[in-house]
Structure 1
Amino acid sequence: MTLIRRICAGLLALLVAALTSCSVDGSAIPVQGIRQVDDRGVRLPFTTKHSQRWNTANDGTEYEPCTGVQLRDLSRLNIDARSVRDAAKTNGQTLRGCIWTYEETGTDIPPSISQTVGNGKGLDAAKARRSGPQDSWLDDILIASRRVGIHVYSFEGYCATYVESGTATVISTASHSGTHPLNREQLCERAIAFTKATIDRMPE
């Protein structure tokens, strides 16, 4: 009888372990019905609590900004890899991606860079949608033979690049506020640099 109880206890322990965790690429991942990996099976750099982080508003590309950028690129661009956080504020948010901050000195608020994915009908449609009195689009540029749009506002503190990927758009946004904010040209340089570092990983 004692042997049977020991066997049952061992089986129960294995069952509990199987129900509470699984492994992708050797990493333990909580199983709560909430996805924690990208389409390639790579673990997100944080644990998301949003069960609808991936949804029909951002499934037009398999590209995942949070795993698309490499640590060496973050270091080269002077971005603090430890500062990564989910761009989604609420469950089911349209845009999917991450936000990082730069390792900056001489300012009370460090500049930030974000990269997000949202479904759309292409760059021209994005330009038409964002064509208000405060919106401006600089001349398109080519990065890795791909067309990149550059969006700015009439006020300083923001610059974003737009790249088509599948039926979605990947948006890289550099922003800054505070007592000594970076100017538009500096922010556009950062948005473009981040795009250059990741564009080869974005499916066309």
Structure 2
Amino acid sequence: MRDIARAVGRYSICLVAAVLAGLASGCSTNGHPAAIAPSPSSSTSTQTIRQTDDAGLRLPFDTDFPNRWSINNDGSPYEPCTQVPTEVLRNFGLNPSSVSDAAASDFQTARGCEWTFADDNLSAISQFVGDIVHPEDGLAGHKALNSSGTEWFSDLVVQARKVLVGSIAPSDCAVYVRSGDAVVVTSVIEFGGDAPSTAEICQKAADFLESTISRIPE
């Protein structure tokens, strides 16, 4: 079931990453985060791959991707994998130990993490960073560039910051806030017979963002 859950979550992240920068092809490339504790037999190349954020905080897993941080997502130093507090995850009913890398391949736009719900491992919340293609045009330009394939709802204001709200499927909703020359995307995907409405999913995404936005630099 855990493999199914990760596959479902990865599918959602790939779709939102495609909306970020039209890089859906990167989602089909093989790649996965390694176990948390590296074994003594780990290769030299794996051991030299960056494993910390800009503040020196350790990722909650070992990444195999040399270009997890890249020109596709370096517009903001924010790293959801190290900055989202455990108490926030628990408050939203997420399982902190379910954390997985948002990147499904090397050199992807999406840089961040995904967590599944403790009572529903087919549903998840993810938060990740991706650069804005034309930062001079801001969030409005980002929305215009990605008008196809996304149903955009009314913008929000969260702690005095503009936030975009968009959905690419009834079971999925994402909110976008600017950070430097990037957007931080908070995506919620919920499946199952008792799945909430898209509006409720969007509200959950906005609430999760509000719980973390103080850590996201402008």
- TM-score w.r.t. the length of structure 1 is 0.79
Alpha-carbon shift at residue 177 of structure 1 (Å)? 2.5
1:167 paired to 2:181 = yes
Matches within 5 A, 1:65-104: 65-104=80-119
Contact 2:46 2:64 in 1 (8 A): no
Higher strand share: 1
* CA RMSD, 1 decimal: 1.7
The percent identity for this pair of structures is 39
Correspondent of 2:211 among 191, 197, 200: 197
Q: Secondary structure at the match of 1:72?
A: helix
Amino acid at match of 1:129: L
- 1: CA distance, partners of 2:155 / 2:199: 15
Where 1:148 maps in the other structure, the secondary structure is: strand
| Structure 1 unpaired stretches of 5+ | 1-19, 21-29
Give the number of the structure whose alpha-carbon radius of gyration is greater: 1
Q: Distance in 1 between matches of 2:99 and 2:196?
A: 21
Contact 1:61 1:165 in 2 (8 A): yes
- Tell me the TM-score normalised to structure 2 length: 0.74
| Shift, 1:31, TM fit | 6.9
- Runs of 4+ off more than 6 Å: none
Structure 2 counterpart of 1:130: 146
Letter in 2 for 1:123: L
1:118 equivalent among 108, 130, 154? 130
Tell me the distance in 2 between the aligned counterparts of 1:104 and 1:188. 20
C-alpha distance in 1, partners of 2:85/2:171?
Answer: 26
Provide Cα deviations, 1:86-109, integer angstroms capped at 9, x if missing partner. Answer: 01111111110111111235xxx5
Compare the two structures and name the one with the higher helix fraction.
Answer: 2
Q: Distance in 2 between matches of 1:56 and 1:173?
A: 22
CA distance in 1, matches of 2:91, 2:190: 19
1:117 is paired with a residue of what secondary structure? strand
The structure whose RCO (Cα within 8 Å, separation 6+) is larger is 2
User: What is the CA–CA distance in structure 2 between the aligned matches of 1:98 and 1:58, rounded to whole Å?
Assistant: 14
Question: What residue in structure 2 maps to residue 157 of structure 1?
Answer: 171
Q: What per-residue deviation string (whole Å, max 9, x for no partner) do you get for residues 45-78 of structure 1?
A: 1111111100011000100011120011111111
CA distance in 2, matches of 1:97, 1:144: 22
